[in-house]
Structure 1
Amino acid sequence: MITLTLLHPVQATPVQSWTFENENLIRIGRAVDNHVVLYSAVVSRHHVELRRKGLQWEVVNLGTNGTYLDGKRIQQATLTDGGILRLARSGPNIQIRLGSDQRPATPSARMETVPEGRLVDVEKGTYSGEEEAIGTAAEPSSHAEDSTPTSSSSSLTAQEEEEAEFAVTGQLPVHLLSEWRAPPACQHNHAQENDIFCIDCGLPLRVWKTLGNYQIIRALGQSNVYLGWRSGLTAVIKGHSLAASRDEIRAFQRQAQQLCKIQHPVLPQFWEAFECGSDSYLVSEMVYGQSLKQRVQEQGSMNVIEVSRWLIPVCELLEVLHQQDPPVLHLHIRPSNLIHPYVKRQTTELVLVGWGKAAVLTSESGTFIGTVGYSAPEQQEGKPEPASDLFALGATMVYLLTGYEPETYFRWGTREYRLYAEDIPHLDPRMVDLINCLTHPDPRERYPNAGEVKKRLQEIATITPTVSSGAS
């Protein structure tokens, strides 16, 4: 028996465990066909293999960014009980326990054994639009992890580190506040030291940098996405490098034109696109609210009636987007990108954000945009299509119904590795069939369009609540 325990990156406490009794080969990596799937930009799609050799286990590195055992970089080595395996220099740490007497409570691909207290959203906040790093269909380059500063090896000066921290958190130490003050347009002088906007006039009190006509207040997650301000309005500004290929630039420009023309209550309002320096930018409204992921964490999992009613408007939006010429794909649908806004909108209670990673369908392939666990196999291979958004919709249903990430219910079947909704306890059979169809590995086996998914959800939403519920 071997038990793998993912450790918290700072506190070194257990986060999640996997126990294997009969396997002779265990694969770990970013792709969903691994036995242990880990989300990290520095983890390769297939990073390491653990192989049983008689009474011993050995680890074999497959990843571009390397594998470390007890702090030493290895290519192949024998595992010992209690050893710490780290994927890439700054990647996740996994503790190895060997023997039947070291078996903790483990998820083992079943929600009943996942500790409730481990469901922590490190992205907690009012806007959850940009969470995961973008990977590629190919293995990450060897310098990918070297570009990420760590506490132990950073080339940044102390001030640069403080400024980088401000870009993400909006918090500056007192001695740097004066350097980030905006031009003295605001005449109010009773703002608190850490305030970003004046509570009286709404003007920004400090600015990180300027892009075109927009003052940039802070970064939002990763991938060149910012919180900006102009003429009394806050905006989400997504950057795109003009150094990209000609096809990528055309796709971005076409996407910007399409999104700025589409008006839908579930879609944030897109205002304009502009160029500045070597990049182009797409500007949309800032949506403040609570994500459905946060809602589940605070209030518990939903029943099938609630899930159906929340997601019917999302299906209506996907109908509109997928009917564009060419189709517009979101490619990052997940509970944290579904926001219940604080300011009520006219005809919906939900807004789909995270459009910094949206894409227009082109004939190109090779780029993986999305989040492992919510991304269809063809999307992970860099060949997304409208059915890829439907896959993510089905994976989102799993989280809303259970409170657990969808990969909890992935396992090997008779022929393939996929999500099995029938493993979710006490789930209505109609919802089981819907989720299994949406998350089928073959896009041709999924529903033909979002309109058909909407019809199915409408049927489920009419079920008497006392009869149908999510997992308990």
Structure 2
Amino acid sequence: MITLSLLHPIKQLPVQVWTFENESVIRIGRSTDNHVILYSAVVSRHHVELRRVGASWELVNLGTNGTYLDGKRITQVCITDGAVIRLARSGPNIQIRLGAEALKNLSHRQETDRTMTQRSDDLPLPTDIMERHKPDATTPISSQEDAITSRFLSGTIPVPEHLRLPDADLEGDGLLTFAAETTPDPVQPNSFFFNSPDSQAERLPQISAEIVPAIDAQAASEQVPPPLSIQPSGILSGIPSSAVRVCSHARGGDYFCVDCGQPLRVLQTVCDYQLVRLLGQGKIATTYHAWKAGQHVALKLLNPDWVDNAQARGALECEADLLRPLNHPCIPHFIDLLMLDHQAGLVMSLMPGPTLSQTILAAGPVSLQRAIDWILSLCSVLEYLHQFAPPIVHRGIHPQNLLRMSRTDGSEAIALVGFGAIKALVLDQAISPHLNGYVAPEQMDWQATAAADLFALGPLLAYLVTGRPPVSFYADQGDGMRFCAVMVSAFTPDVVEIVHRLTDPKPEQRFPSAAALAEALRFARVETSFPVDAPLHE
């Protein structure tokens, strides 16, 4: 059990209390998809995550303005009972209590004020939230605490007057809009970057400017966060809850010793590969950041339910066979295939940089020119894959499988990871929810061609310039349900025409190759386009 208490800004007494008994992850922020919703001008949409790690809890900061513990800005720490965190330098204070004993000291009024023990799937509409937060003039307010708590609906943390947001405006599409902030989404397999100022990150691989086309320097100057991402750790079923301390140096670090470079803690060891932290988890497999003799790799292991499944093992071998011949700086390199009695894993190179999904969540939509530059970089990768005979079809192109990599000349290129979609096809599994809106009609078919990969670039371009899921741009305009480029207001007429052809339900009607698409995009007329949201400022 974990209990969160909002503390009065002056008296430092609990104003409102929330108890969670079964949650393993608790999110706090301004967005309505959080477990605890907090309306404040200095709080990010997704500001903090509390994660259960074995018998303890870990706090991960996701907010632009930071999270503070004992006056120090933190990135990721283990939480002790009674800890008080502050969201932003001038934000609200939240006390964290662990265990059932924390509830015994609460007053009767605070006990009845306790609202949300688990997150509800029925989230209130943004307009309902704003209306229900207005003070009721007919209700007498007897104290400053009551003045705070009377303004907020169940399931949200009340915020002192000087920190509350002004009434938000509703855009034409009915979406409640706030300023964007640097809030990364969950870590993706093969996404790797250290960002702690206290740790010495090893040199990350950079790619040559001669191999991958450069992204336009003017577009690169936009207000987009640099390729940094927070990579929370995690422990899954089958992994010991108490990690083994490996290094004994006093200075330590986040995950690796700043003195010797060895892992500070190891979750498990598989064939001399030491699992250091979780990168991503799927239904069939889980990917870890692993370390072996100074080498950092991504190790994908079949989940316990699939490890003894012959078809799942065969699917992992298919993925390995797909990666083995590839030699491109923007694609993970095959390292090893581990086939043990009760374990099966694929070892790949670890790719640096945040995902495009993390970037858009952090800073909001980008300009059309910026998005096209990213698509052009991706086209060079697809052109490489599709030159094989038969062409290598990725089948899983979406923002969480695309990383922004730094080049040796300071520019960027887009890397493609997540080649595991082949496993879903081999095992006859349903399409991942992440692919909704990006999937070509013929994609889950052994006969799918390179045109299926090109199809995904249309919805991807729409997501980059709007920040909205591509499914919101599907409609039936007389020729069946399909992606409608004309619905994307940020597209110019030239781009509408290109994307309309790119997302044609019939593969033969699309562009014949990634090179042909790239040529069309280079000659397209692109008017000046600005992001919908501005960066968050404290």
Q: TM-score, normalised by structure 2?
A: 0.53
What amino acid sits opposite 2:438 in the alignment? Y
| Counterpart-to-counterpart distance in 1, 2:120 and 2:344 | 31
Do the aligned partners of 1:266 and 1:348 also contact (CA within 8 Å) in 2? no
Query: In the superposition, relative to structure 1, how do residues 345 and 286 fare at CA in structure 2: closer, same or farther (>3 Å)?
Result: farther
| Counterpart-to-counterpart distance in 2, 1:381 and 1:471 | 37
Do the aligned partners of 1:322 and 1:329 also contact (CA within 8 Å) in 2? yes
| Counterpart-to-counterpart distance in 2, 1:11 and 1:302 | 29
Query: In the superposition, relative to structure 1, how do residues 262 and 91 fare at CA in structure 2: closer, same or farther (>3 Å)?
Result: farther
SS at match of 1:454: helix
| Counterpart-to-counterpart distance in 1, 2:328 and 2:410 | 10
SS at match of 2:412: coil
Do the aligned partners of 2:394 and 2:419 also contact (CA within 8 Å) in 1? no
CA drift of 1:205 comes to 0.9
1:423 maps to which of 454, 462, 487: 487
| Counterpart-to-counterpart distance in 2, 1:232 and 1:111 | 53
* 1:238 maps to 2:300: yes
Match of 1:8?
33
Does 406-415 or 366-375 show the bigger shift?
366-375
CA drift of 1:306 comes to 2.2
* 1:312 maps to 2:376: yes
1:275 maps to which of 325, 339, 346: 339
CA drift of 1:328 comes to 2.6
Kindly, what percent of the aligned residue pairs are identical? 25
CA drift of 1:363 comes to 8.6
1:128 maps to which of 188, 197, 218: 188
* 1:206 maps to 2:235: no
Query: In the superposition, relative to structure 1, how do residues 400 and 426 fare at CA in structure 2: closer, same or farther (>3 Å)?
Result: closer
2:233 maps to which of 147, 170, 179: 170
What amino acid sits opposite 2:275 in the alignment? I
SS at match of 1:320: helix
SS at match of 1:379: coil
Match of 1:397?
461
* 1:352 maps to 2:415: yes
For 1:57-111, what per-residue CA distance to the aligned partner results, in whole angstroms no more than 9, with x for missing partners?
xxxxxxxxxxxxxxxxxxxxxxxxxxxxxxxx999435599x9xx9x9999xx97
CA drift of 1:203 comes to 0.5
| Counterpart-to-counterpart distance in 2, 1:297 and 1:318 | 25
| Counterpart-to-counterpart distance in 1, 2:426 and 2:381 | 23
What amino acid sits opposite 1:239 in the alignment? L
Do the aligned partners of 2:251 and 2:258 also contact (CA within 8 Å) in 1? no
CA drift of 1:272 comes to 2.1
Query: In the superposition, relative to structure 1, how do residues 334 and 189 fare at CA in structure 2: closer, same or farther (>3 Å)?
Result: same
1:284 maps to which of 348, 366, 376: 348
CA drift of 1:233 comes to 2.0
| Counterpart-to-counterpart distance in 2, 1:322 and 1:419 | 24
Match of 2:396?
332
SS at match of 2:298: strand
* 1:228 maps to 2:290: yes
Do the aligned partners of 1:321 and 1:329 also contact (CA within 8 Å) in 2? yes
Do the aligned partners of 2:372 and 2:521 also contact (CA within 8 Å) in 1? yes
| Counterpart-to-counterpart distance in 2, 1:274 and 1:124 | 30
2:175 maps to which of 111, 114, 117: 114
Query: In the superposition, relative to structure 1, how do residues 346 and 426 fare at CA in structure 2: closer, same or farther (>3 Å)?
Result: closer
Query: In the superposition, relative to structure 1, how do residues 129 and 453 fare at CA in structure 2: closer, same or farther (>3 Å)?
Result: farther
| Counterpart-to-counterpart distance in 2, 1:251 and 1:106 | 49
* 1:180 maps to 2:243: yes
| Counterpart-to-counterpart distance in 1, 2:318 and 2:453 | 19
SS at match of 1:93: coil
| Counterpart-to-counterpart distance in 2, 1:178 and 1:397 | 41
* 1:341 maps to 2:405: yes
| Counterpart-to-counterpart distance in 2, 1:347 and 1:96 | 43
CA drift of 1:411 comes to 2.3
Query: In the superposition, relative to structure 1, how do residues 12 and 346 fare at CA in structure 2: closer, same or farther (>3 Å)?
Result: closer
| Counterpart-to-counterpart distance in 1, 2:273 and 2:339 | 12
What amino acid sits opposite 1:395 in the alignment? P
| Counterpart-to-counterpart distance in 1, 2:472 and 2:168 | 14
CA drift of 1:215 comes to 0.5
| Counterpart-to-counterpart distance in 2, 1:379 and 1:90 | 35
Name the Cα RMSD after superposition: 4.3
What amino acid sits opposite 2:422 in the alignment? A
Match of 2:520?
456
Match of 1:93?
122
Q: Map 1:122-161 onto structure 2 (within 5 A).
A: 123-124=184-185, 127-129=187-189
Do the aligned partners of 2:184 and 2:359 also contact (CA within 8 Å) in 1? no
2:329 maps to which of 265, 269, 281: 265
Do the aligned partners of 2:182 and 2:362 also contact (CA within 8 Å) in 1? no
For 1:377-423, what per-residue CA distance to the aligned partner results, in whole angstroms no more than 9, with x for missing partners?
33368875432221221111111122222222222322322221112
Query: In the superposition, relative to structure 1, how do residues 115 and 129 fare at CA in structure 2: closer, same or farther (>3 Å)?
Result: farther
What amino acid sits opposite 1:124 in the alignment? D
SS at match of 2:324: helix
| Counterpart-to-counterpart distance in 1, 2:172 and 2:456 | 19
Query: In the superposition, relative to structure 1, how do residues 8 and 365 fare at CA in structure 2: closer, same or farther (>3 Å)?
Result: closer
Query: In the superposition, relative to structure 1, how do residues 198 and 383 fare at CA in structure 2: closer, same or farther (>3 Å)?
Result: same
Match of 2:275?
216
CA drift of 1:348 comes to 7.2
For 1:425-444, what per-residue CA distance to the aligned partner results, in whole angstroms no more than 9, with x for missing partners?
25211111122222233333
CA drift of 1:255 comes to 3.2
* 1:255 maps to 2:313: no
What amino acid sits opposite 2:36 in the alignment? Q
Query: In the superposition, relative to structure 1, how do residues 326 and 433 fare at CA in structure 2: closer, same or farther (>3 Å)?
Result: same
Do the aligned partners of 1:365 and 1:383 also contact (CA within 8 Å) in 2? no
Query: Unaligned 5+ residue runs, structure 2?
Result: 1-30, 40-117, 132-166, 192-230, 533-538
Does 385-394 or 114-123 show the bigger shift?
114-123
CA drift of 1:122 comes to 6.8
Query: Unaligned 5+ residue runs, structure 1?
Result: 1-5, 15-88, 132-167
Do the aligned partners of 1:266 and 1:352 also contact (CA within 8 Å) in 2? yes
